[in-house]
Amino acid sequence: MTGRKPAIYLDYNATAPLRPEALAAVNAALAAPHNASSVHSYGRAAHKMIEDARQQVAALVNCPPAQVIFNSGATEGNNTVLKYFAKERILVSAIEHPSVLEAAPASEKIPVDKHGIVDLDALETLLKKNKTALVSVMMVNNETGVIQPVDKISALAKKHGALFHCDAVQAAGKISIDMSPGHIDFLTLSAHKIGGPQGAGALCLGICGITPTLLDGGGQEKKARPGTQNTAAIAGFGAAAATATRDLPPTATHTTKLRDRLENTLCKINKSIVIHSKKAARVPNTTLFSLPGASSETLLMAFDLEGLCLSNGSACASGSVKPSHVLKAMNAESAGTIRVSTGWASTENDIDQFLAAFEKIAARMNRKTVNA
Ligand code: PMP
């Protein structure tokens, strides 16, 4: 970025900037040889950092700390659960993250409606058809921000004898999560989506008494996740979780204000804009919109030149811009799609800059269409 003004970051759903509290915890942990399995003083200090983080992460989702298993992130957490049930019947929503969909290639898909909400009648029909071991539905979709009715989904799963897994990566820090009613058997979290470091996550266990595992070879995390713990990343995760828990209500109000202004102004600048899932319950930080007739790649590059970091919503891993399976499942327009996602450090000015850039880009595109 030398010689250019700092980029405006509006891609929190891909990864959030590290919170200062998390950075401090990471630095403190990296300052010494902190292997939590060692019995010496550094080992004991590392153990304490991890146990403190366990309490902080447990508080974020209201579950007992002993039910939190640290791992490398949500891709691992989702794989751990889905692969554990690989030989049994699994139902997953059509809009899950690839770390669920590809970890359970034989799973049957639960459709969603045009707003991107899981179809409860279709779920019940599927559950009635055959015995199901596991239902997996995310709490919040990473592309649209739609909040799924997980209480109802879990109740249906339980009624038909299935366990319930919930990928809560995009819900954490945005809405409150409460595992205490016992409706969620397995819940996955990722540190870097809440302002913690990349490379740490957690699988939180409910009351079913099953501990799915993926790896063999060590006693860490009570044998549920062997391998030397990533003390620094886990400590940073804990600090981020504590801050996210503390700041949840003011952040939600602030991001809702930013989102409403963003969406209202967007629709005024260009009347043909489609804001996806506008009528559904959504987390306040996410806006997914399509500009019919435009291409996502061109828009993303144009925004990048204006110094704005955005996403098309579905390019999580490869950097490629491929059509969204989420919008496809919703039967929605997917050309010219852009996702704006804000978070703990987002400001009014970020939104102003985005809107100014959009106005400029939209006017340029308009001129090109008129002159074509
Ligand atoms: N689930 C969802 C809903 C996500 O958005 C992501 C991150 N793109 C993941 C899982 C994977 O998380 P991680 O980066 O920690 O592997």
How far is Cα 45 from Cα 37, in angstroms, rounded to an integer?
10
At which of 244, 275, 302 does a domain end?
A: 244
371 pLDDT more than 80? no
Nearest to 148 by CA among 73, 85, 95: 95
pLDDT band at 289 (very low <50, low <70, confident <90, very high): very high
Ligand 1 centroid to residue 178 C-alpha, Å: 20
Question: Is residue 313 pLDDT above 90, yes or no?
Answer: no
Query: What distance in angstroms lies between residue 18's CA and the mean position of ligand 1's atoms?
Result: 16
- Evaluate if residue 316 carries a pLDDT over 50: no
CATH of the domain at 109: 3.40.640.10
Residue 224 belongs to some domain of the structure: yes
Residues 71 and 127 in one domain: yes
Which ligand 1 atom sits nearest the alpha carbon of residue 14? 8
Which residue has its alpha carbon closest to ligand 1 atom 5? Answer: 142
User: In terms of domains, do 188 and 120 share one?
Assistant: yes
Query: Which residues form the catalytic set?
Result: 316
**Stretch 220-232: mean pLDDT, rounded?**
96
Q: How many domains does the chain have?
A: 2
In a domain, 124, yes or no: yes
Is 301 domain-assigned? yes
Q: CATH code at 290?
A: 3.90.1150.10
Same domain, 308 and 227: no
The band of 365, judged by pLDDT with boundaries at 50, 70 and 90, is confident
Compute the distance from residue 189 Cα to the ligand 1 centre, in Å.
Answer: 8
Work out the average pLDDT over 267-294.
95
Q: Among 244, 264, 283, where does a domain finish?
A: 244
Centre of ligand 1 to C-alpha 56, Å, is 20
Same domain, 56 and 176: yes
pLDDT at 317: 44
In angstroms, the CA 135 to CA 162 distance is 7
Atom of ligand 1 nearest to the CA of 190: 15
Ligand 1: nearest atom to the Cα of 99: 10
Instruction: Write down which residue in 195, 223, 244 finishes a domain.
Output: 244
The answer to the question of residue 212 being in a domain is: yes
* Structural domain includes residue 234: yes
User: What share of the chain in percent tops pLDDT 70?
Assistant: 95
| Residue 95 scores a pLDDT above 70 | yes
**pLDDT of residue 372 exceeding 80:** no
Residue 152's pLDDT band, with cuts at 50, 70 and 90, is very high
Specify the pLDDT at position 369: 58
Same domain? For 189 and 296 the reply is: no
Summarize the confidence of residues 19-34 as an average pLDDT: 97
Percentage with pLDDT > 90 across the chain: 90
Asked whether residue 295 carries a pLDDT value surpassing 80, the answer given is: yes
Whether residue 361 has pLDDT greater than 70: yes
For residue 2, tell me if it sits in a domain: no
Please indicate, yes or no, if residue 3 is contained in any of the structural domains. no
Could you tell me if 47 and 97 lie in one domain? yes
The pLDDT score that the predictor gives to residue 4 is 64
Pocket test for ligand 1, best of 12, 70, 190 (most atoms within 8 A of CB): 190
Cα of 337 from ligand 1 centre, angstroms? 20
Which residues are near ligand 1 (CB < 6 Å)? Answer: 73-75, 78, 97, 99, 138, 142, 167, 169-170, 190, 201, 316
Q: How confident is the model at residue 318 (pLDDT cuts 50, 70, 90)?
A: very low
Is 80 or 315 the better-scoring residue by pLDDT? 80
How many CB atoms within 10 Å of residue 228? 13
pLDDT at 161: 98
**Mean pLDDT of the region 76-89:** 98
The verdict on 220 and 307 lying in the same domain is no
Please name which of 155, 156, 147 lies closest in space to residue 115, comparing C-alpha atoms.
147
Mean pLDDT score, 304-330: 81
- The boundaries of the domain holding residue 353 are 8-16+249-371
Is-contact 173 15, C-beta < 8 A? no
Average pLDDT (178-199) is 98
Handedness of CA 35, 37, 40, 43 (dihedral sign): positive
Q: Is the pLDDT of residue 110 over 50?
A: yes
**pLDDT tens digits for 233-245?**
999 999 999 999 9
Q: Is 200 inside any structural domain?
A: yes
Choose one of 193, 283, 339 to mutate for the ligand 1 pocket test, by most ligand atoms within 8 angstroms of C-beta. Answer: 193
> 127 and 72: one domain?
yes
Q: What is the pLDDT of residue 370?
A: 52
* 214 and 291 together in one domain: no
Same domain, 112 and 124: yes
Mutational test site, ligand 1, from 72, 99, 325, max ligand atoms within 8 Å of CB: 99
The pLDDT value recorded for residue 6 is 73
Which range is least confidently modeled, 21-35, 52-66, 147-161, 312-326?
A: 312-326
- pLDDT band at residue 61 under the 50/70/90 scheme: very high
307 and 359 assigned to the same domain: yes
Pair 87, 137 in one domain: yes
What is the pLDDT averaged over residues 114-119? 98
